[in-house]
Amino acid sequence: MTLELLQGSVAITRAALAADCKFFAGYPMSPFTPLLEAMSREMADASGVCINAESEIEGANMALGASAAGFRAATGSCGQGIALMQETIAEAALNETPLVVFNMARNQQDYYQCTRGGGWGDYRTITLAPKDITEAVEHTQLLFHLADKHRAPVILYGDDLLAKTLVGVDVAPLDLPELPAKDWALDGSASGTGSSRQVWTFAMGKKNDPGPGPDGQWRRVAAKFAEIEQVEARHETVHAEDAETLVVAFGSAAKFAEYVVEELREEGHRVGLFRPITLWPFPGAALAEATRGVERVLVFELNAGQMIDDVRQWAHDRDTIRFIGGVSIDESGLAFGPLLDAPVIRERILAEHAEHAEPAAAVPTARS
């Protein structure tokens, strides 16, 4: 493995190109901008197209068009810009067009936006939240695969750290299963044959070949997302098996929480971490299992409490849940504030943990 020193946005761009992404359109917005710039620089050499769109709405629809034509396509922004794209994301879900959306978010306040969505209709968006750039490189490739596999919009939940940090990284192509050819994609070849294709949310089909119509189509799409919920949930646990206190965190916050958990373990505290890798589908069954033997569940997220709704829904005992996160934004309003720091997280975990538990003798540690 050869590591190359790359900015996170460049690493993610290279990962997208490794996944055969051929189209990107976006509108500058911090901290998404470096990803757009990297795509703009690197896409031409990969015989792809990158358009500096005139609005998020246009960018998302351009990507939808490119994808409907059968090519891997993506767009991106951060919270406010993704808000403008919600109509298109819902449309892609309901007319079943694959679409990868990079949310290089300013903080963790977009959890609801990613997992509940702001569009209309019965749809969901698979959302992967990498904890660092190495994982973001894998997730980017996986997302293009999942978007095609399920013919659905998917989201990478990034942030300022993932967009801008320079790290040594190896953008190795992931070995993913081959997917069926996109026989639904529009290339014009079926025009005039009597069996021309149609991509349409209402799915009424052609006069000579009626489709399922809105009722049939939207039932089918809803059933598809119910199935995805069963098979695509991903999570990671650290020292969870014998933990008295289990911290739940995602994305960069989980990376910091993991560091603190390791530190506390070395000091003999029975503390563990549960990290949802997919925010939707939320790894609920795994969380229920992981929280079975714990005395308290501490939710650390950099917002006023959004993921905690999912934790409450799935934790073994709701009465054990405490919120130790909070809104924390830097002075610019564009990146994380002082709460994303190991000493602060450590203090908040210990405030709950030490109140009830005495430091135990050091126990062998294992990661699952």
Partner 1 sequence: MATTDITIDTRTAPPPPASKAAAGAPSLILGEHSLCPGCGEPVALRLLLETLQDLDVVHRSIGVVGHGCYGSFVRIMDVDVLQCLHGRAPSCATGIKRMRPDSVVFTLQGDGDMVNEGLQEILHSAARGENITCILLNNGVFGDTGGQQTATTVLGQRTKTSLEGRNAEQHGYPIPIADMVASLQGSGYVARGAVSTPAAVAKTKRMIKRAVQSQLDGNGLSLVEILTMCPTGWFVPAAEGADYQGSSMEPVYPIGELKSPEPQTQEAVHA
Which residues make up the interface to partner 1 (CB under 8 A)?
Answer: 22-23, 25, 49, 51, 53-55, 57-59, 61-71, 73, 87-88, 91, 95, 186-194, 196-202, 204-208
- Least distance (Å) from partner 1 to the CB of residue 343? 47
Tokens of 116: 């509940």
| Helix-helix angle 251-266:342-356, to 10 degrees | 60
Closer to partner 1 by CB, 123 or 250: give it: 123
Nearer to partner 1, 53 or 163 (CB): 53
Dihedrals phi, psi of 273, to nearest 5 degrees: -130, 140
CB of 152 to partner 1, least distance (A): 17
Q: Please give the Cα distance from 6 to 8 (Å, whole number).
A: 6
Enumerate residues 6+ apart whose C-beta is below 8 A from 218: 94, 121, 122
Q: Which is nearer to partner 1, 202 or 259 (CB)?
A: 202
Minimum gap (Å) between residue 257 Cβ and partner 1 = 39
Pick 183 or 319: Cβ nearer partner 1: 183
Min separation Cβ 299 and partner 1, Å: 37
Which tokens go with 358?
């005495």
- Which residue, 206 or 292, has its beta carbon nearer to partner 1? 206
Which run of H or E residues covers position 321? strand 321-323
Residues in the chain: 368
Question: 36 or 171, CB closer to partner 1?
Answer: 36
> Hey, is 7 helix, strand or coil?
strand
Whether the CA torsion 342, 80, 299, 283 is positive or negative: it is negative
Structure token digits, residue 77: 């922004």
Q: CA 334 to CA 328: how far, in whole Å?
A: 11
Tell me the closest approach of the beta carbon of residue 66 to partner 1, in angstroms.
4
State the nearest-atom distance from the C-beta of 255 to partner 1, in Å. 35
